[in-house]
Amino acid sequence: MSGEITAKITNNRVLKLFCDHGALLKNGHFCLTSGRHSSAYVNPDPILSEPEVLSELGFAMAQWIRDAKFIMPDTIVGPETGGAYLAQWTAWHLRSFASGNIHAVGLHKKGKKSFTISPALEQHVRGKRIFIVDDVLTSGRSIGLAADLCHKIGGEVLGAGCLLKRGEPRAPELGFYKPFFILSLAVFMLPDWRKKDCPLCKDGVPENTQYGHGAMRTQKNSR
């Protein structure tokens, strides 16, 4: 279903925003938090502190939702951290397109395997039409867990959108709710390898020590 509609913002524009703000690092040698190695690294945090960037991306998301008329939601839900920021901007722009009073709800992490919601905000999910937004899609797990929570509260999850897809959505958490589709404003599939198969290790390229697991090791060693 997601193939039927094209986002108005271009893939290159989204990637440029990520690259310009240091949220997408290419042509390096990184040890990802999963332990796998890659030549690229995505960390959306730098763009979360840039209101103009988030506004532009939230506008693009809202524009897409508006044009896909069958999914006009009551509430935009975003999982911590980036999704919660993006939910605000998406709802803000969507209000300017639609007559309804669209709300934004951020979910908080609860352990590693679930999200929670402020009791005061449940009213914006129960019996409402929900669209979930998130920053970076790797396996789709966060979106799946967010959808699970909304569903349990009594919300109808219409679909989800992410800024950047860097892996195939394969998380089992996505499977419970059908039909389900995920829009990606941009796609940048990250090649990654097991350490023993990593061509960069084989070529002796020094591993980045500022990001991912490389940074965690550096911090531990400096203590």
Residues near Zn ion, by CB under 5 A: 37, 198, 200-201
Query: Three-state SS for 89?
Result: helix
Burial class (CB in 10 A: 0-12, 13-18, 19+), 204: exposed
For the chain, helix, strand, coil in percent to 5 are: 45, 25, 35
Q: Which is nearer to Zn ion, 179 or 204 (CB)?
A: 204
Rounded Cα–Cα distance for residues 148 and 157 (Å): 9
Q: Which is nearer to Zn ion, 36 or 128 (CB)?
A: 36
To the nearest whole angstrom, how small is the minimum distance from the Cβ of residue 210 to Zn ion? 15
To the nearest whole angstrom, how small is the minimum distance from the Cβ of residue 44 to Zn ion? 23
Burial class (CB in 10 A: 0-12, 13-18, 19+), 102: buried
To the nearest whole angstrom, how small is the minimum distance from the Cβ of residue 212 to Zn ion? 11
Q: Which is nearer to Zn ion, 16 or 202 (CB)?
A: 202
Rounded Cα–Cα distance for residues 192 and 199 (Å): 10
Q: Which is nearer to Zn ion, 72 or 200 (CB)?
A: 200
To the nearest whole angstrom, how small is the minimum distance from the Cβ of residue 23 to Zn ion? 22
To the nearest whole angstrom, how small is the minimum distance from the Cβ of residue 41 to Zn ion? 12
Position with the least CB separation from Zn ion:
198
Query: Three-state SS for 72?
Result: coil
* Sign of the dihedral through C-alpha 213, 218, 221, 222: negative
Q: Which is nearer to Zn ion, 137 or 198 (CB)?
A: 198
